[in-house]
Amino acid sequence: MAASSANENSDKPRRTVTSFRNFVSQNHDSQFPAESGRYHLYISYACPWASRCLAVLKLKGLDKAITFTSVQPLWRNTKENDEHMGWVFPDSDKEVPGAERDHINGAKSVRELYDIASLNYTGKYTVPVLWDKKLKTIVNNESSEILRMFSTEFNHFAENPCLDLYPPNLRSLINETNEWVHHGINNGVYKCGSATTQTAYDEAVKQLFDALDKCEEILQKQRFLCGNTLTEPDIRLFVTLIRFDEAYTVIFKCNKRLIREYSNLFNYTKDIYQIPGLSSTVKMDHVKQNYYGSFPSINPLGIVAHGPNIDYSLSHDRHRFS
């Protein structure tokens, strides 16, 4: 829902299917070849789906090859005389700390980017957006594919090319783990928050906490989800965990158990947060402003809860697996 991602017309919301599914490739003959300075990533620090792409960009050291811009956290009207509320850019780079004007296309909203890319587009205006500055179009708006591209296709520009988040020997396990983490946890919190019947909510809560319990058990035995090496599922899980106690427990009613009440999961979250570059992808003020302020059907007065203001820079115990 932080990326307009849930279907609120059902008691069992489904993720919106993304529409732009092209790939950047190391192949020079590709329509979208990997080139330094050609691509731009549009994100929201509030959105976990966008933030996981930014996390991989930072981990790989692609800052000089791929630029990025964040929208402001609160949804606003995206067009005059139109009721649609969505991601917008601030009017100045100083208006909202962390958010910037669109210096690439001069767009006022993410909706305008989609209009530039396709006059016939009728889907949702979501982030992340991977933009081709040369062809002036959207390459891809599916976060799982963007983070995979960043991990594998830009190594000749990366400052950390040896980091492989999708190593061949673990791909089967990574794919399997991505699947249950996505359905049970990443999308699971949204199922809880969007449920319109008690039955749907109860089912979603059970699925969510069953998956979290599974993670806790796995992390009792190893440092990361697929062994003692950081891989894709860890990044995908991290962006949900870091938002859990601050937003999801209250706004999405995911309060059966806090992440900081899970010994392994909480230490694991601190461990990943402290990887160089990762903390810069977390702006909790953006997270809380969006979740508490952009969903009037859930929080009509837009009051932002204080706390718990967790310090993820404190020591953790995950080095025991080193």
The response to whether 127 counts as a known ligand-binding position is yes
Which residue among the candidates 42, 45, 114, 190 is catalytic per the annotation?
A: 190
- Written as six digits, the tokens of 85 are 């509320």
Angle at the Cα of 47 (from 160 to 208), degrees rounded to 5?
100
| Contact (CB, 8 A) for 165 and 230 | yes
Q: Which residue has the tokens 């969505």?
A: 86
- Written as six digits, the tokens of 29 are 């003959």
Q: Is 306 helix (H, G, I), strand (E, B) or coil?
A: coil
Q: What one-character DSSP code corresponds to residue 18?
A: P
Q: Could you give the C-alpha distances from 274 to 241, 313, 314, in angstroms and in order?
A: 14, 6, 9
The response to whether 8 counts as a known ligand-binding position is no
47 is catalytic: yes
Q: Could you give the C-alpha distances from 242 to 191, 192, 236, in angstroms and in order?
A: 18, 17, 11
The response to whether 87 counts as a known ligand-binding position is yes
> CA–CA separation, 257 vs 277, rounded Å?
29
Q: Is 25 helix (H, G, I), strand (E, B) or coil?
A: strand
Nearest to 264 by CA among 291, 234, 289, 294: 234
Which residue among the candidates 39, 42, 45, 47 is catalytic per the annotation?
A: 47
The response to whether 125 counts as a known ligand-binding position is yes
The response to whether 60 counts as a known ligand-binding position is no
Q: Tell me the sheet residues that pair with 41.
A: 68, 130
The response to whether 176 counts as a known ligand-binding position is no
| Contact (CB, 8 A) for 287 and 243 | yes
Nearest to 259 by CA among 282, 280, 242, 239: 242
Non-local (6+) Cβ contacts of 159 within 8 A are 60, 61, 62, 63, 64
The response to whether 177 counts as a known ligand-binding position is no
The annotated binding site is made up of 87, 124-127, 142-143
The annotated binding site for glutathione is made up of 87, 124-127, 142-143
Q: Cite the active site residues.
A: 47, 190
